[in-house]
């Protein structure tokens, strides 16, 4: 552990002493992707060690944290709405309000919070998350407002406490930042340059979650298949585990893990060694999220994705050849600057050819500071929406066709717990992430069960457990 984290642990201790027997509570609202969720789990870990217990209700909280996202525009309105609401609550409860995450790395957003929302006590960035205990300590003791955002790339800090939100799947971040600069995307500007965690630290964390009983892990990074690339280039990687493929193989050896997933890889970095590692590692799910973004070679060039339509399709074919049972999900952006009807048709064409199991569809949202925002040929909103609806229709048709192939098959389901819509039933997921709801007993939770899929409900299946004789 580093001196910086030791220092923060001292602050944590001091706050815990002040909070002792006071029934202090914290709440956290997380926006955005699973990396943000994982950051929030670290924030929760710190808050709990500081003596705050978790509540879902802002009204009950003494410490309210919002972890923001800025990938798309709608998050901004949501944030301002929420921060506005907190003003009255703060007057009643005298709560500490901290806002952090990606959006706070955008100067204009941090400034706006500072100017327009004086009731916010702490603004922290993605590189200063680990300093939250110090920031909170200062607010408690001086009641001054704190702005703790830095621009330089944060280091990789190990040893922060973590309180995981999910009981079945443990998320483990393997690298931070992104060097790709896709022209639509704000992430490289708010998360900084790529930096990988040491393989030993990752492996220790996996072993730790196995001890806690987790069966599935999700390896996280903006660009997981360039794991350790920057470090290797700079001659800084001291480990023999110096690539994503090697990391997968190493984690696959750890006993107790049943499923290994990862998001997100970049198609341009999907080298043969990664494909072979997926093939050879029995625990790595044969279900890969492979962000397409657009099916048009022209648009891919404008987006700076560094692959063509043909290369994407060849990659999918190659993976299918090496791993016949492999399935895919993807991300697609509709209506990026300059997208013509023909470009959009190319996207539909790739969707038809690959037959994804899941498609995360996004309407392009202009982000200040990105090259995409400065492009002149922006697409009118109504056209973007119409294209989005057409894509959605195609995707839904394909999903229902895919579902037919799953019906009456027996799948391995990792059981998560009672179904939200019907507490008497259990819910879980197949290797290809299909939700299955079925009758079962409590002892099945957090185990893998063989389940026959007997009814198709589009977004989930009803299933029946197959008892082994």
429 binds, among ligand SF4, ligand 5AD, none (CB under 5 to 8 A by kind): none
* Residue closer to ligand SF4 (CB basis): 185 or 302: 185
Pick from 122, 178, 284, 316: which binds ligand SF4 (CB under 6 A)? 178
Q: What is the side-by-side strand order in the sheet with 358-363?
A: 287-289, 327-334, 358-363
Pick from 52, 124, 184, 438: which binds ligand 5AD (CB under 6 A)? 184
Q: How many residues at the interface with ligand 5AD, by CB under 6 A?
A: 13
362 binds, among ligand SF4, ligand 5AD, none (CB under 5 to 8 A by kind): ligand 5AD
Task: Tell me how far, at minimum, the Cβ of 347 lies from ligand SF4, in Å.
Answer: 16
Task: Tell me how far, at minimum, the Cβ of 261 lies from ligand 5AD, in Å.
Answer: 16
Q: How many residues at the interface with ligand SF4, by CB under 6 A?
A: 10
* Residue closer to ligand 5AD (CB basis): 126 or 293: 293
Pick from 50, 136, 174, 185: which binds ligand 5AD (CB under 6 A)? 185
Structure tokens at 270: 């999907």
Task: Tell me how far, at minimum, the Cβ of 105 lies from ligand SF4, in Å.
Answer: 14
Say how far apart CA 388 and CA 344 lie, in whole Å: 10
Q: Quick one: three-class SS letters along 378-414?
A: CCCHHHHHHHHHHHHHHHHHHHHHHHHHHCCCEEEEE
Contacts of 98 (CB under 8 A, 6+ apart): 63, 64, 65, 66, 120, 121, 122, 123, 124, 132, 135, 136
Task: Tell me how far, at minimum, the Cβ of 32 lies from ligand SF4, in Å.
Answer: 12
Note whether 187 binds ligand SF4 by CB under 6 A. Answer: yes
Note whether 303 binds ligand 5AD by CB under 6 A. Answer: no
Which DSSP state fits 423? Answer: T
201 binds, among ligand SF4, ligand 5AD, none (CB under 5 to 8 A by kind): none
Say how far apart CA 422 and CA 437 lie, in whole Å: 9
Task: Tell me how far, at minimum, the Cβ of 373 lies from ligand 5AD, in Å.
Answer: 9
**Which span sits near ligand SF4 by CB under 6 A: 93-101, 106-114, 182-190, 268-276?**
182-190
Q: Could you give the 3-state DSSP secondary structure of residue 419?
A: coil
Note whether 243 binds ligand SF4 by CB under 6 A. Answer: no
Query: What does each C-alpha distance from 388 to 71, 155, 173, 221 come to in angstroms?
Result: 18, 39, 31, 27
Count of Cβ atoms closer than 10 Å to residue 455 Cβ: 11
* Residue closer to ligand SF4 (CB basis): 187 or 206: 187
Say how far apart CA 42 and CA 9 lie, in whole Å: 13
> Angle, to 10 degrees, between the axis of helix 34-49 and the axis of helix 132-142?
50
Helical H runs in 253-376?
A: 272-280, 297-302, 309-322, 341-354, 371-374
Say how far apart CA 331 and CA 292 lie, in whole Å: 6
Note whether 36 binds ligand 5AD by CB under 6 A. Answer: no
Task: Tell me how far, at minimum, the Cβ of 182 lies from ligand 5AD, in Å.
Answer: 7
Per-residue b or e along 159-176, where b marks 16 or more CB atoms closer than 10 Å to that residue's CB: ebbbbbeeebbbbbbbbb
The 412-431 contact track toward ligand 5AD, x by CB under 6 A, reads --------------------
333 binds, among ligand 5AD, ligand SF4, none (CB under 5 to 8 A by kind): ligand 5AD
Q: What residues numbered 357-396 form the site for ligand 5AD, per CB under 6 A?
A: 362, 364-365, 367
**Which span sits near ligand SF4 by CB under 6 A: 180-188, 306-314, 334-342, 411-419?**
180-188
316 binds, among ligand SF4, ligand 5AD, none (CB under 5 to 8 A by kind): none
Which DSSP state fits 293? Answer: B
Contact between 198 and 173 (Cβ < 8 Å): no
Note whether 440 binds ligand 5AD by CB under 6 A. Answer: no
Pick from 43, 64, 65, 71: which binds ligand 5AD (CB under 6 A)? 71
Task: Tell me how far, at minimum, the Cβ of 366 lies from ligand 5AD, in Å.
Answer: 7
Note whether 72 binds ligand 5AD by CB under 6 A. Answer: yes
Contact between 103 and 76 (Cβ < 8 Å): yes
* Residue closer to ligand SF4 (CB basis): 103 or 413: 103
Q: Is 21 left (phi over 0), alpha (psi -120 to 50) or beta?
A: left
Reported residue count of the chain is 469
| Interface positions with ligand SF4 (CB under 6 A) | 178, 180-182, 185, 187-188, 222-223, 266
| Interface positions with ligand 5AD (CB under 6 A) | 33, 71-72, 184-185, 291, 293, 331, 333, 362, 364-365, 367
């Amino acid at each position: 552990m580093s001196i910086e984290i030791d220092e923060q642990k001292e602050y944590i201790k001091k706050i815990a002493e002040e909070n002792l027997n006071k029934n202090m509570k914290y709440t956290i609202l997380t926006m955005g992707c699973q990396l943000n969720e994982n950051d929030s789990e670290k924030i929760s870990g710190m808050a709990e060690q500081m003596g705050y217990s978790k509540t879902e209700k802002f009204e009950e909280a003494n410490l309210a944290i919002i972890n923001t996202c800025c990938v798309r525009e709608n998050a901004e309105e949501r944030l301002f709405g929420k921060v506005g609401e907190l003003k009255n609550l703060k007057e009643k409860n005298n709560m500490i309000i901290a806002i952090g995450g990606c959006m706070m790395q955008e100067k204009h957003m941090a400034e706006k919070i500072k100017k327009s929302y004086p009731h916010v006590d702490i603004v922290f960035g993605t590189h200063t998350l680990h300093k939250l205990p110090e920031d909170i300590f200062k607010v408690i003791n001086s009641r001054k407002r704190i702005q703790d955002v830095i621009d330089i790339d944060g280091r990789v800090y190990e040893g922060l406490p973590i309180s995981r939100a999910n009981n079945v799947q443990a998320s483990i971040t393997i690298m931070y930042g992104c060097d790709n600069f896709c022209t639509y995307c704000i992430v490289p500007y708010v998360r900084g340059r790529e930096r990988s965690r040491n393989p030993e630290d990752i492996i220790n964390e996996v072993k730790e979650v196995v001890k806690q009983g987790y069966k599935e892990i999700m390896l996280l990074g903006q660009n997981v298949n360039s794991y350790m690339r920057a470090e290797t280039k700079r001659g800084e990687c001291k480990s023999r585990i110096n690539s994503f493929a090697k990391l997968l193989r190493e984690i696959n050896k750890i006993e107790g893990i049943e499923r290994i997933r990862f998001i997100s890889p970049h198609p341009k970095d999907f080298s043969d060694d990664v494909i072979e590692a997926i093939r050879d590692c029995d625990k790595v799910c044969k279900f890969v999220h492979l962000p397409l973004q657009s099916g048009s070679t022209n648009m891919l060039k404008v987006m700076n994705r560094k692959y063509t339509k043909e290369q994407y399709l060849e990659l999918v074919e190659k993976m299918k050849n090496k791993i016949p049972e492999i399935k895919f999900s993807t991300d697609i952006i509709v209506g990026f600057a300059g997208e013509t009807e023909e470009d959009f048709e190319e996207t539909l064409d790739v969707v038809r050819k690959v037959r994804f199991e899941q498609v995360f569809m996004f309407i392009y949202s202009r982000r200040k500071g990105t090259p995409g925002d400065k492009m002149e040929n922006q697409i009118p909103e109504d056209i973007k929406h119409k294209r989005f609806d057409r894509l959605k229709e195609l995707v839904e048709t394909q999903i229902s066709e895919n579902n037919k192939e799953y019906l009456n098959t027996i799948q391995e389901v990792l059981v998560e717990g009672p179904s939200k819509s019907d507490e008497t039933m259990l819910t879980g997921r197949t290797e290809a992430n299909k939700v299955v709801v079925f009758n079962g007993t409590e002892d099945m939770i957090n185990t893998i069960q063989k389940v026959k899929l007997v009814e198709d409900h589009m977004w989930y299946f009803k299933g029946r457990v197959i008892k082994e004789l």
